[in-house]
Amino acid sequence: MSRRSPLKRKRTFQSRKKYSGYSGGNRRPGEKPKNFKETVSRFVPLLKPFIPGMIVVLIAGVIGTVLTVTGPMFLGDIVDAIKEQADIKLSGGEINFSKIQKILLTILGIYGLSAVLNYVQHYIMAGVTQSVVRDLRDKVNDKLTHLPLSYIDSHSKGDILSKMMNDIDNISNTLQNNLIQIITSAVSFIGMLALMFYVSWQLTLITLSVLPPSLIVISLISKRSKRYFRRQWDETGNINGHIEEMYTGHTLIKVFDHEEQAIDEFDDINVSLAKAGYKAQFISGIIGPILNFVSNIAYVLICVIGGVYVIKGTFSLGDITTFFTYSKLFMQPLVSIGNIANNLQSSLASAERVFNLLDEPDECADCYDTRIEEPKGEVEFRDVSFSYTPEVPLIENMNLKVEPGQLVAIVGPTGAGKTTFVNLLMRFYDVNKGEILLDGHDIRTIPRENLRSVFGMVLQDTWLFEGTIMENIAYGRKDCSREEVIDAAKAARVHHFISTLPDGYETMLEENGENISQGQRQLLTIARAILANPSVLILDEATSSVDTRTEVHIQKAMNALMNGRTSFVIAHRLSTIRDADVILVMNDGTIVEQGTHEQLLAQNGFYRELYASQFGV
């Protein structure tokens, strides 16, 4: 138990809520699935394309199980045959092993064929399972590409990854193992019950007396374990989200000496996961011992009564041996079904989490097809209002017109709405009121892929994937040549650095370019934007991660690139935007001042305050 203040415990609880993938984290821990039947009805259609294979699995399972179930009948015949030969030997005759040998060969054939059919089941089911899981992952991946940015911004990456990987893996394990067990358990139960009635209906009724309490036990335990399995997978998503966040921000954690707090928060989530997992596994695990205890009571009664029948001569020794074997095996299918029931609860909880993700509304579809083939770069905001949440207004009644080819700089304090301005321009979010025009067309009437092809963007947070430098720069445009990539790198002043590397443009970058410096990563993303050759440029803190000398080189390259293009530059360092045609000064979501650098200084207003705070003027 971690010794922590109430404030820290409250903060940790709130951080756990942040990682939850359900309704912003407000779902109560342990709450059972909303609709069990609906989850099952949605999962079954995933198996429809594989019905032929499932039929083969079913047939092989039924035949193989029937063969296995008939085995004890032949064991009884062996017992009777051995007793018969023993009696012959005692009476002075000669023992004949031919009958025993035939029975043994029959048993060997039965169990051998059963093993072959069992192999066929698992072989086919492995293919079906992986195909279903592949299709489900494809659906989730496709869904993630169509979700609005607002969903990604409001959900933990770790929880999304947990649904994509852990939950689907849980479904895979259940499909691979439990579906076959359902078939074999059901056929075994019915087959053994029929053969037990064939041997002795009286002893069978005694055996069946344990069935009602067994079913009650399975039902009660399944209801309880269902809640904890759901909570277990929720907490798995929470811990994945925390680990992902702590790893990506490990440098910042060390800088501010927050290692102990991060460890405490991890411990809290880990303890919650352990408790949920313990309760789920413990409660589901007691099904077997309880059912075995109940079945053993019936087994003792059968042994006593069966022994009496043998003494009276009602049963042969082989018959009672066969029945003893069946009665002992009779509860195994029930135990298996009980365990399967709990595994199904766990996998259905995972399936519901995946379906909840698939049910999230897609980014609103493009209802119009106003394509811009030759963009000019004229941008206009008309009475635009926007907020991420209704209760917190951000941008209100913004009006702005940018002529083609103008360089527009956007400055202001943190939270002024600068990045939101870009999000609206790129249609990552749609405006709540008003309209944004590109070349006179409302951007909501332009297909997103066409709209975004007009823009080139360099983000404050660089993004590079694991691959070569050539591949990362070429990501900016399809079907570009090697020479064009090199020209873009030269324009971004990064060619010399690449040339000094042993493998040059074929140098492999680690995930997010961790094996090069932040400034070099920034230069590569600028080269990517240059290669895209867009009509409108958006530079969001494009030079915020490079040194002063590199910044000068980038500014020269950017000035050449922006010539004749509409460009938006968002920067805190006012030295980078002195040559802008228009500087927009934003504060609290509104444009409070606009003009050139000299004009704004002359106004002696908010811009001058920002300028003075940076340069001490």
Range list of β-strands (E), 306-420: 379-386, 395-402, 407-411
The whole-number pLDDT of residue 608 equals 86
Give the DSSP per-residue string, 425-454: HTTSS--SEEEEEETTEEGGGS-HHHHHHT
The phi and psi torsions of 592 (rounded to 5 degrees) equal -90, -25
Walk me through the domains of the chain, giving residue ranges and CATH numbers. Answer: 9-358 (1.20.1560.10), 379-615 (3.40.50.300)
Coil, strand or helix at 260:
helix
Coil, strand or helix at 58:
helix
d(CA 245, CA 177): 34
Structural tokens at position 55: 């039929």
Coil, strand or helix at 29:
coil
Q: What is the mean pLDDT of each run of 10 residues along the chain (617 residues)?
A: 38 43 37 64 84 89 86 77 74 74 86 90 89 89 84 78 84 82 84 84 81 75 71 77 73 69 83 82 74 76 81 78 79 74 78 87 74 86 86 81 88 76 85 90 87 82 82 84 89 86 88 76 84 84 61 68 81 76 83 86 86 72
The phi and psi torsions of 117 (rounded to 5 degrees) equal -65, -35
What residues contact residue 474 under an 8 Å CB cut-off, 6+ apart? 480, 485, 531
The whole-number pLDDT of residue 570 equals 82
Sheet holding 379-386, edge to edge: 395-402, 379-386, 433-438, 441-442
The whole-number pLDDT of residue 33 equals 47
Closest to 235 in 3D by CA, of 171, 166, 174: 166
